[in-house]
Structure 1
Amino acid sequence: MPSTGPADSREPLPTGGDEPPWSRNDALVTAAACVLNLLSYVFFTDFGGRQPVSVPGFLLVALGAVPLLARRRHPVAALAAVLVLDATAALTLPLPSHFGAVLIVALYSVARARPLPVTAVAGLATAAVTVLSQRGGGSTPWQESLVGPPMSVLIVVGAALVVNRWQREGAANRRLLADRAVAEERRRIARELHDIVAHHITTMQLMAGGARANLGNPEVVRDALVTLEGSGRLALREMRQLLDVLRADDEPETAPALPQPGIGDLDRLVGESRLAGLPTELGVYGPPRPLPPTVGLTVFRIAQEALTNARKYAGPARASVRLTYGQDRVLVEVRDDGVGASPQAGPGGYGLIGMRERVALHGGTLTVGPRPEGGFGVLAELPLDQDEVAVR
Structure 2
Amino acid sequence: MTAAAPAAPAARARRRRRGLLLLTASSTRYIAYHGWDAGSAGPLLLAGVLLSAFLLNELTNRAPVIRFAVLTGAFLALVFAAPSFAWCAIPLFFAGLLQLPRRAIWPLVALLTAAVVIAQVRLADRFDLSLLLGPAGVAVLTAAVFLELDRQNRARRLALDELVAAREELDRSQREAGALAERARLSREIHDTLAQGLSSMNLLLQAADRDWTAHPDQARAHVRASAATARDNLAEARRFVRGLASPALDDATLTEALSRLCAAAERDTGTAVRFTVTGAPLALDLDYEVALLRVAQSALANVGAHAGAGQAAVTLTYGDDEVMLDVYDDGAGFDPAAVTGGFGLTGMRERIARLGGTVSVESAPGEGTALAVHLKFREAA
- Structure 2 unaligned segments of length 5 or more: list them: 205-225, 255-281, 326-332, 361-371, 374-381
- Aligned pair 1:58/2:47, yes or no? no
- Aligned pair 1:143/2:143, yes or no? no
What pairs with 1:332-343 in structure 2 (closer than 5 Å)? 333-335=339-341
What pairs with 1:292-331 in structure 2 (closer than 5 Å)? 324-325=334-335, 330-331=336-337
1:203-238 per-position Cα deviation (integer Å, ceiling 9, x unaligned) = 234333223222232111211122112212322339
For residues 253 and 283 of structure 1, the distance between their equivalents in structure 2, rounded to whole angstroms, comes to: 33
For residues 139 and 63 of structure 1, the distance between their equivalents in structure 2, rounded to whole angstroms, comes to: 29
What pairs with 1:251-270 in structure 2 (closer than 5 Å)? 255=285, 258=289, 260=291, 264-266=296-298
How far the C-alpha of 1:78 sits from its partner, in A, is 4.0
8 Å CA contact retained: 1:70, 1:78: yes
Q: Using a 3 Å threshold, how does the CA distance of structure 1 residues 266 and 363 change in structure 2: closer, same or farther? A: closer
What pairs with 1:171-250 in structure 2 (closer than 5 Å)? 171-215=157-201, 216=204, 217-237=226-246
8 Å CA contact retained: 1:200, 1:232: no
Q: Using a 3 Å threshold, how does the CA distance of structure 1 residues 122 and 91 change in structure 2: closer, same or farther? A: closer
8 Å CA contact retained: 1:131, 1:149: yes
How far the C-alpha of 1:154 sits from its partner, in A, is 1.9
1:10-69 per-position Cα deviation (integer Å, ceiling 9, x unaligned) = 454239xxxxxx9897577446413421212312x244x355472322221232243343
Q: Using a 3 Å threshold, how does the CA distance of structure 1 residues 192 and 292 change in structure 2: closer, same or farther? A: farther
Q: Using a 3 Å threshold, how does the CA distance of structure 1 residues 90 and 182 change in structure 2: closer, same or farther? A: closer
For residues 87 and 179 of structure 2, the distance between their equivalents in structure 1, rounded to whole angstroms, comes to: 69
1:268-296 per-position Cα deviation (integer Å, ceiling 9, x unaligned) = 999xxxxxxxxxxx8679xx9989999x9
**What is the aligned partner in structure 1 of residue 111 from structure 2?**
125
Please give the secondary structure, in 1, of the residue aligned with 2:340: strand
For residues 324 and 289 of structure 1, the distance between their equivalents in structure 2, rounded to whole angstroms, comes to: 18
8 Å CA contact retained: 1:86, 1:133: no
Please give the secondary structure, in 1, of the residue aligned with 2:153: helix
Q: Using a 3 Å threshold, how does the CA distance of structure 1 residues 333 and 131 change in structure 2: closer, same or farther? A: same
RMSD after superposition? 5.2
Q: Which moved more, 1:214-223 or 1:80-89?
A: 80-89
The letter of the residue matching 1:232 is V
TM-score (normalised: structure 2): 0.56
Q: Using a 3 Å threshold, how does the CA distance of structure 1 residues 259 and 218 change in structure 2: closer, same or farther? A: closer
The letter of the residue matching 1:333 is V
Q: Using a 3 Å threshold, how does the CA distance of structure 1 residues 180 and 151 change in structure 2: closer, same or farther? A: same
Question: Which is greater in Rg?
Answer: 2
For residues 258 and 81 of structure 1, the distance between their equivalents in structure 2, rounded to whole angstroms, comes to: 62
Q: Which moved more, 1:64-73 or 1:212-221?
A: 64-73
The letter of the residue matching 1:34 is L
Please give the secondary structure, in 1, of the residue aligned with 2:339: strand
How far the C-alpha of 1:361 sits from its partner, in A, is 8.5
- Structure 1 unaligned segments of length 5 or more: list them: 1-8, 16-21, 246-251, 271-281, 298-322, 337-350, 365-383, 386-392
1:278-333 per-position Cα deviation (integer Å, ceiling 9, x unaligned) = xxxx8679xx9989999x99xxxxxxxxxxxxxxxxxxxxxxxxx955xxxx5363
Q: Using a 3 Å threshold, how does the CA distance of structure 1 residues 232 and 198 change in structure 2: closer, same or farther? A: farther
Q: Which structure shows the higher helix fraction?
A: 2
Aligned length: 291
**What is the aligned partner in structure 1 of residue 82 from structure 2?**
93
For residues 214 and 224 of structure 1, the distance between their equivalents in structure 2, rounded to whole angstroms, comes to: 11
